[in-house]
Amino acid sequence: MKKIKNYLSIKQWPQDDRPREKLFRNGEHTLANSELLAIILRTGVKGRSALDLARSILQKFKTFRDIGRADLCDWKGFKGLGRAKIAQIKASIEIGRRLKEEKIKEKRIKIKSSQDVAEILLPRMQDLKKEVFKILLLNSQNRIIDIIEVEEGTVHQAKPIIREIFQKALQQFAAFIICIHNHPSGNPKPSPEDIEFTQELARVGETLLLQCLDHIIIGNGRYFSFSDEGLL
C-alpha cells in the first residue's frame, strides 16, 4: 500500500490557517466557500483533510445550489464520504434557504407583481424534486403576513388542498392570497389540472370574500403567472 506523503489533518495546521479558528477570529463572511464547507464536514476521509474534500466537492458541483439538488447517486465519486456527511451538507443548505424565507417574512415585503413573488420563491422552489404548494398570505396593503406550505395533496387532489389553503388564510386574517407550486420537470406550462384547480380556487375565494390574486407555477429559472396571462 502506498503511503500518502505530506498529509496533515486540519488539527495539525497552524491555528491561523484552520477554517474554524479563522471564522471566530475574522467572521464567517471572510471564509471561502471551501472553508465553510470544510467546517460543515468537520473531518476528512482517509488521506484527505476536510478542506481537501470540500474543494473536491465544489470542483464537481460548482455551486451550493447544485450541491443542494444533487441526488445520493451523484456523490458516488467521493470515497469515504458517507450518508451522514452528505446529510450534514444538505441540511446546512436547507437551513440557509429557510433563513432567507424567515427574513422575507420579517420584512413584510409588499407584493406588487408576479416578478416580486418569483424573486422570493423561485430560488427556493425551482430545484425541488417533488411538487410542493406554498401560499403567500397578504394583508390589505398586499404586504406578506406569512409564507406557508400546504402539507396535503397535489393539484390532482384539488379539494383537500383548497380547503387547507383557505383554512390557514382565514386563521391568519389574510386579505388576499397568492398560490405558488413547482413543476419538478422544470417546465412551468400549466397542465389542464392546474387550470381547473385555479378556476376552483378563484370560485371558492369569491364565495369566502378572500381573493386569490395569482397562481404562479415555478419551473427551472422561469415561471408562469395565471394573472399575467389573464387567466385569473
Over range 74-92, report the average pLDDT. 86
Lowest mean pLDDT among 17-26, 110-119, 217-226: 17-26
Topology classification of domain 109-225: Cytidine Deaminase; domain 2 (3.40.140)
Over range 174-203, report the average pLDDT. 93
The length of the chain, given as a count of residues: 232
Rg of the chain over Cα atoms, rounded to whole angstroms, equals: 22
What ranges do the domains of the chain cover? Answer: 10-99, 109-225
Over range 91-98, report the average pLDDT. 85
CA distance 67 to 182: 19
Over range 32-46, report the average pLDDT. 87
Contact between 137 and 148 under an 8 Å Cβ cutoff? The reply is: yes
Band of the pLDDT at 207, cuts 50, 70, 90? very high
**Angle between helices 50-61 and 33-41 in degrees, nearest 10:** 120
Cα-Cα-Cα-Cα torsion 159, 151, 182, 107, nearest 10 degrees, comes to 120
pTM of the model: 0.70
Q: Average pLDDT of the chain?
A: 85
